Amino acid sequence: MALAAEAGKPTCFQELILTLQRYWARQGCAILQPYDMEMGAGTFHTATTLRALGPEPWYAAYVQPSRRPKDGRYGENPNRLQHYYQFQVILKPSPTDILDRYFGSLRAIGIDPDLHDLRLVEDDWESPTLGAWGLGWEVWCDGMEVTQFTYFQQVGGIECEVTSGEITYGLERLAMYLFDKRSVYDLPYNQPGSEVPLTYGEVFLRNEREQSAYNFERADTEMLFRHFADAEKECGALLGSSNAKLALPAYEQCIKASHAFNLLDARGVISVTERQAYIGRVRALAKACCEAWLAKG
Amino acid sequence: MAKLVLEFLSEEIPARMQARAAEDLKRLFTEGLTQAGLDFAFAAAFATPRRLVLAMDGIPLRSADVREEKRGPRTDAPARAIEGFLKGAGLNSLDQCEKRDTGKGEFYFAVIEKKGRNATEVLREVIGKVLSGFPWPKSMRWGARPLVWVRPLQQILCVFNGVALKGGIVENRADSPDFYFDAAAQGGTGSRFVFVESPRANDVIVPARETTRGHRFMAPGEIRVEGYTDYVRKLKQAYVMVDAEERKAVIRTKAETACREAGVTLVKDDALLAEVAGLVEWPVPMMGTIDRAFMDVPAEVLITSMKTHQRYFACHTRGGELANRFVVVANTVAPDGGREIVAGNERVLRARLSDARFFWDQDRKAKLADRLPALKDIVFHAKLGTQAERVERIVALAQAIMKAESCGFFHMTDPAHLEAAARLAKADLTSGMVGEFPELQGVMGGYYAQLEGLPLEVSNAIADHYAPTGPESRCPHSPVSVAVALADKLDTLVGFWAIDEKPTGSKDPYALRRAALGSIRLVTENGLRLKLTDVFKAAAAGRTINSGELLAFFADRLKVQAREQGVRHDLVNAVFALGDEDDLVRLLARVKALQAFVGSDDGKNLLVAYNRAANIVKAEERKDKALAGQIKSVPDPALLEQAEEKAVAAALEGAAASAGPALAREDFTAAMSALAALRAPLDAFFDKVTVNVAERPDLRLNRLRLLRRISATIDSVADFSKIES
């Protein structure tokens, strides 16, 4: 069974991940593990944000659990989750055949470009909290967005010295397409024929319900405001002038602040005008961390 | 004479940028050749998602030798002047100059002979120049390369006279060890990136190849081409249609055929067609089906979802309703005839429409009025408050417009309906559907209002209150719709004017130009008699605005709009210049009468006479500064000596007497005819009467006064000095 799966297309969610990992490992990527903190997207991982800066070559791929508190739907919407997985590939400098390599990964997971309509549709990417932007595309497969493809131009307000190519697969959506499921909760998580077959819903539905309730109703906003302020302060202290600057621990505080902000936003306690100000504060932290990272490097 | 085919092969170029890029390539490249002294007979440019292509013919193999002469200083000029001349001409010593007597003295002449250059050399140089400064709206770097392009540029193919130019693009910086040559010193452009024949391998940013490639998936192999015709033919065999027009034609024809077979008709959409043609190199239209379960969701929702999110074409049934079919244009010929592709697209659409259906069902559970409190949380603009505050202003302004209109447009309007429509117009901003599809604002409110059982007048006004959004879009005509639509736009305009956020140059982030154009259409197409300055004041509600400046902004938009309708913008100026005209309907009536008049023989001749009179006065005023003050007064009848000047004075009096009342009753044609009576006496006056009688200063002054009075009388109808003859 395992051997058959190895040779053929993935038949469940976890095999999709394993196939992508194996594929990108063969392309020379370091296969990293998820960052062990709450973050909104794989881009926040130091393996992308910080490594995109400076001249050093860097090839890495990893799964990143991504938390978007506002997108929670209590498990009732078949397409939206407050916790989902991104598969992130970063190739720096972007090789000239990066698109061919990417399309190769689609073949590996069972999307045959001869049988499907693959298209690159303009989609520029910007992260106001990271002070980052890039140009690229949404990749469409038969009209469905399966990947976000970006050439990073700026991170932390700093021009990238060497351009990274970033490939982000939305795993659940891709899996729903591959396994022809209308609801994310019906996805096979492990092999349907295995001893204990599990669906995505069996693994995550309760999490979606409880976390949605936390995000929208229960999260203690006073505590979150405090956490935001603490993280901001700590970040500043770690980058202060009296001691050596600690870019990585400081950046973790920036990630914390960003997640606290996302929770506060989901709780609806940040007004439209304040929103911009908070995003600006997180960006200021990200910028300072990026500068410290480069200064050390 | 030789042919050229140049292709820049890149990763996918955004559809919206392709047509412009092809034009820019043609312009920059042909300008470059011309500047380098290389002629050509023909040039055409094309774009696909992956290529910019230039085809040219009639290029000589060498540019002609050029002999240029520069005249220098006199031979007896100071040494410094001579040095400067030599330096400027790029010469080392006077030996390289000739001495020539021009009849005005002896001068140095530098004769600079420029040898013609090989066309290939010029082509390389121009390619480097084009790559160094291509005007992409957004461009990027990739890899570790310094060049910027819209997306990574993979290779260049340049086949000239049947031979592909070899080499590659390198960065050429004088301060770098990689310096290749001093292009500027060799008469070239000295651009940052240059196309050299034998680059060092590590320097190559973009290689020039002798082959290109076909369709990304269907024909990725190498293709060798000899010329443009060969290029187009071989690429077609490799599943690439180079010409966007051909791709559009194929999409249209095949989509229509598919529709015919399915018993539906294609909904024409030129903007979508252009975009889709920019997303495919090999268009393959296919027919898909919309799940019947979604067909009771409003057509606008289905169309928006299909068009903006998926780039599908909508179809109509024979009865003109939205059909449960759509056309998707794929970029590939699939071995299964596209079954998987269609199935995949149908699945994606189903997921999108289930979202839409969810919102449709949810939104209808709340009444529009129940949504109003939530508008307090939506900030319209930091300095202009929330949507809730805006709604209050729009309600008041719509009522003020209704009261201010003086021609009875609103005499049957139920004030309660007007208030309900104005109050509920923005309520759909809090609905799930508008959150998901912002472009459906208004339309959804209209549907929800109708389903709630609100009067049709109210639901229509809610649906229409953003209209008209462009010159082609439908303009509301029913009174409630007109009042709310106008109030919405004027509140925006006056608001942004009050906080001094006006459009500048190409920047108009709040679409104020569109709001003004929309207001103009609402007023003029419905014949609303409004004094705009009064309405501005009502909209300002106590805030200070520069009303004159806002009116001038309207005037500019009116000119743009008038030009599109064949009305001369100088005539709009001529009427606006009268000042204090802020009733657009009256203003346009006057402009139209004026246009008819200046198109007639009487009008043309009167304009000539007017200009003649004005020019004489102007010329005399220039000579004699004191004159301006003196000639304002009425001419003295006692000093009118010749019959012709007496006739003019009498005609002026007559014209003024009939034009005045005609203007008052807004009979502009009659006012113009009154002026026409001036023509014969004026012609006779200019024939027989000398204005500048040197020996009789009193006569001269009186006649100048008479001339000034001619201008003044005519200007009371329209400022003729603004009319271009």
pLDDT of B315-327, one tens digit each?
Answer: 999 999 999 999 9
pLDDT confidence tier of residue A1, bands split at 50, 70 and 90: very low
Among B554, B536, B552, CA closest to B544: B536
Do B449 and B519 belong to one domain?
A: yes
Closest Cα of chain A to B340: distance in Å? 7
Q: Do the Cβ atoms of B309 and B262 come closer than 8 Å?
A: no
Same domain, B374 and B359: no
pLDDT confidence band for B391 (50 / 70 / 90): very high
Residue type, B543: R
Nearest beta carbon to residue A143 from set B14, B328, B358: B328
State whether B484 and B533 are in the same domain.
yes
- Whether A144 sits inside 8 A of B217 (CB atoms) is no
pLDDT at B623: 83
B253: Cα separation from own chain's centroid: 30
Distance separating the N- and C-terminal Cα atoms of chain A: 47
Q: Look at B691 and B531; give whichever has higher pLDDT.
A: B531
Strand partners, A188: A199
Distances, alpha carbon B517 to alpha carbons A14, A134, B490, B656, in Å: 57, 36, 11, 35
**Nearest CA distance, B670 vs chain A (angstrom):** 58
Do A153 and B141 count as a contact with CB atoms less than 8 A apart? yes
Find the Cα–Cα–Cα–Cα dihedral B510, B513, B517, B520, rounded to 10°: 90
* Interatomic CA distance for residues B202 and B209, integer angstroms: 16
The residue in chain A having the minimum alpha-carbon distance to the alpha carbon of residue B149 is A135
Q: What is the pLDDT of residue A6?
A: 43
Cα separation, B128 vs B147, in Å, equals 11
On the question of pLDDT at A272 being above 60, the answer is yes
Smallest CA–CA distance, residue B107 to chain A, in Å, is 56
Neighboring chain A residues of B310 at a CB cutoff of 8 Å: 143
Test B142 with A142 for CB contact under 8 angstroms. Answer: no
Decide if B580 is inside a domain: no
User: Nearest-CA neighbor of B180 among B365, B547, B190, A211?
Assistant: B190
Interface touch B354/A96, C-beta < 8 Å = no
Beta-carbon separation of A144 and B348 below 8 A: yes
pLDDT at B578: 83
pLDDT in tens, B27-73: 999 999 998 889 999 999 999 999 999 999 999 999 888 777 888 88
> Element (H or E) spanning B163, and its range?
strand B163-164
Q: Is residue B589 part of a domain?
A: no
Nearest in space to B310 (alpha carbons), one of B295, B296, B290, B292:
B290
Tell me, what's the ipTM?
0.93
Range scoring the smallest mean pLDDT among A175-189, B171-185, B286-300, B484-498: B171-185
Nearest chain A CA: its distance from B215 CA (Å): 11
Write out the H or E segment, with its range, that includes residue A137: strand A132-141
For tokens 């939305």, name the residue: A170
Pairing type for strands B153-160 and B167-171 reads: unpaired
- Check CB contact under 8 Å for B334 and A153: no
From chain B, pick out residues whose CB is under 8 angstroms from the CB of A121: 15, 279
**Domain boundary residue among B566, B589, B616?**
B566
Rounded CA separation B9/B29 (Å): 17
Going by pLDDT thresholds of 50, 70 and 90, the confidence category of residue A4 is very low
Q: Alpha-carbon distance B555 to B426, whole Å?
A: 29
Burial per residue of B10-19, b for 16 or more beta-carbon CB atoms within 10 angstroms, e otherwise: bbbbbbebbb
User: How does residue A7 score in pLDDT terms, banded at 50, 70 and 90?
Assistant: low
The CATH number assigned to the domain holding B620 equals: 1.10.730
Confidence check: pLDDT of A5 > 60: no
Q: Are residues B549 and B438 in the same domain?
A: yes
Cβ-Cβ contacts under 8 Å, B140 against chain A: 134-135, 151, 153, 163
Contacts of A122 in chain B (CB under 8 A): 12, 14-16
Interface of A with B in 190-249 (CB under 8 A): none
Mean of pLDDT values over A58-74: 95
Residue A120 with chain B: CB contacts under 8 Å:
11-12, 49
Q: Do residues B462 and B421 lie in contact, with contact meaning Cβ atoms separated by under 8 Å?
A: yes
Whether the CB of A275 is below 8 Å from some CB of chain B: the reply is: no
Interchain contact, A143 vs B349, CB within 8 Å: yes
B441 and B477 together in one domain: yes
Q: Are strands A58-67 and A30-31 parallel, antiparallel or unpaired?
A: parallel
pLDDT in tens, B349-359: 988 888 888 88
Q: Closest to B142 (Cβ–Cβ): which among A77, A143, A163?
A: A163
Residues 6+ apart with CB under 8 A from B605: B679, B683
Q: Which residue has the tokens 């009848």?
A: B637
Spell out which residues of chain B touch residue A180, defining contact as CB-CB under 8 Å. 347
In chain A, residues with a C-beta closer than 8 Å to the C-beta of B49 are: 120
Q: Report the pLDDT value the prediction gives residue A244, as an integer from 0 to 100.
A: 86
Distance from A169 to chain B by nearest Cα, in Å?
17
Q: Report yes or no: A120 at the B interface, CB cutoff 8 Å.
A: yes
Residue B385 corresponds to which tokens in the numbers above?
Answer: 């408050």
State the nearest Cα–Cα gap between B147 and chain A, in angstroms: 12
Give a yes or no: residue B124 inside a domain.
Answer: yes
In the prediction, which pLDDT does B178 show? 64
The number of domains in chain B is 5
Residue among A79, A118, A272 whose CB faces B379 most closely: A272
Q: pTM (2 decimals)?
A: 0.80
Element holding B615 (H helix, E strand): helix B601-623
Residues B9, B50 contacting (CB under 8 angstroms) = yes
Q: Tell me whether residue B258 is in a domain.
A: yes
User: Which of B211-215, B325-329, B357-361 has the least mean pLDDT?
Assistant: B357-361
Percent share of chain B, pLDDT over 70: 98
Cross-chain Cβ contact B331/A165 below 8 Å:
no
Give the gap in angstroms from C-alpha A125 to the nearest C-alpha of chain B. 12
Choose the closest CB to B336 out of A115, A124, A271.
A115
pLDDT for the residue A166: 98
Task: Select from A73, A102, A116, A117 the residue whose CB has the most chain B CBs within 10 Å, as the one to mutate to test that interface.
Answer: A117
Report the residue of chain A nearest B207, measured CA to CA.
A96
Q: Looking up tokens 């000589």, which residue turns up?
A: B60
DSSP state of B364: T
> Among the three residues B184, B205, B237, which one is the final residue of a domain in this structure?
B237
- Do B131 and B107 have their domain in common? no
pLDDT digits (tens, 9 = 90+) for B455-514: 999 999 999 999 999 888 899 999 999 999 999 999 999 999 999 999 988 888 889 999
Range of the domain at B349: 244-363
The answer to whether B367 and B441 have CB atoms below 8 angstroms apart is no
| C-alpha–C-alpha distance, residues B612 and B619, integer Å | 11
Candidate from A94-108, B173-187, B434-448 with smallest mean pLDDT: B173-187
> B104 exposed, middle or buried (CB, 10 Å; 0-12, 13-18, 19+)?
exposed
Listed residue (B265, B305, B267, B530) closest to B406, CA to CA: B530
Report the amino acid identity of residue B159: V
For B232-241, the pLDDT digits (tens) are 999 999 999 9
Q: Which residues from A are below 8 Å from B340, CB to CB?
A: 115-116, 142
Q: How confident is the model at residue B91 (pLDDT cuts 50, 70, 90)?
A: confident
Q: Do A79 and B351 touch (CB under 8 A)?
A: yes
Tell me the C-alpha to C-alpha distance, in Å, between residue B40 and each of B1, B8, B116: 8, 20, 15
Pick the CATH number of A219-296 from 3.40.50.1970, 1.20.58.180, 1.10.10.10, 3.50.50.60: 1.20.58.180
pLDDT band (50, 70, 90) for residue A2: very low
Residue B590 lies inside a defined structural domain of this protein: no
Chain A hits for B349, Cβ within 8 Å? 143
Check A272 against B355: CB less than 8 A apart.
no
In a domain, B574, yes or no: no
What's the mean pLDDT when you consider all of chain B? 91
Cβ <8 Å between A94 and B279: no
Helix (H) or strand (E) holding A118, with range, is strand A118-122
Tokens matching residue B15: 């559809």
Cβ within 8 Å, pair B347-A151: no
Cα–Cα distance for residue pair A16/A32, rounded to 1 Å: 16
| Integer Cα distance of B692 and B707 in angstroms | 12
Between A249 and B711, name the one with better pLDDT: A249
Domain endpoint, select from B237, B261, B280: B237
Read off the pLDDT of each residue in A163-173 and give the average, rounded to a whole number.
97
Which residues sit opposite A84 in a β-bridge? A66
For residue A69, give the amino acid letter.
P
CB pairs under 8 A between A and B: 113
A141 contacts on B by Cβ (under 8 Å): 344
> What is chain A's mean pLDDT, rounded?
93
Please tell me whether residues B323 and B356 are part of one structural domain: yes
A55 neighbourhood in chain B, CB within 8 Å: 144
What is the least distance, in Å, from the CA of B348 to any CA of chain A? 6
Question: Is the same domain home to B81 and B151?
Answer: no
Q: Is residue B699 part of a domain?
A: yes
> Is residue A141 less than 8 Å (CB to CB) from chain B?
yes
Interface contact A115-B151, CB threshold 8 A: no
Least confident stretch, A231-245, B100-114, B145-159, B496-510: B100-114
The verdict on a CB contact (< 8 Å) between A116 and B279 is: no
Q: Give B299's DSSP letter.
A: H
Tokens of B519: 């207001």
CA atoms of B60 and B53, how far apart (whole Å): 20
Name residue A148's beta-bridge partners.
Answer: A138, A168
Confidence label for B185 from pLDDT (cuts 50, 70 and 90): low
In chain A, where are the structural domains located? 2-211, 219-296
pLDDT at A273: 64
Rounded to whole angstroms, the Cα distance separating B55 from B111 reads 37
Backbone angles phi, psi at B707, to 5 degrees: -60, -40
Among chain B residues, the shortest Cα distance to A151 is held by B142
Give the end-to-end CA distance of chain B in Å, rounded to a whole number: 46
Together in a domain, B346 and B429:
no
> Rounded to the nearest 5 degrees, what angle is found at the Cα of A246, between the Cα atoms of A240 and A250?
80
Residue of A nearest to B328 (CA): A143
Residues 6 or more apart whose CB falls under 8 angstroms from that of B604 comprise B598
Please say whether the structural domain A2-211 has been given the CATH code 3.90.1170.50. Answer: no
Mark yes or no for CB contact A117/B330 under 8 Å: yes
Tell me the DSSP string of B387-403. Answer: HHHHHHHHHHHHHHHHH
Q: In angstroms, rounded to a whole number, what is the distance separating the alpha carbons of residues A58 and A52? A: 8
Model confidence at B379, pLDDT cuts 50, 70, 90, reads confident
Q: Which residues of A touch B15 (CB under 8 A)?
A: 121-122
Task: Please tell me the predicted confidence (pLDDT) of residue A198.
Answer: 98
- Model confidence at A203: pLDDT above 80: yes
Report residue B74's pLDDT band, with 50, 70 and 90 as the boundaries.
confident
Asked if A180 and B16 come within 8 Å (Cβ–Cβ), the reply is no
Rounded to whole angstroms, the Cα distance separating B286 from B276 reads 13
C-alpha distance from B355 to closest chain A C-alpha (Å): 9
Strand B211-213 relative to strand B222-224: parallel, antiparallel, unpaired?
antiparallel
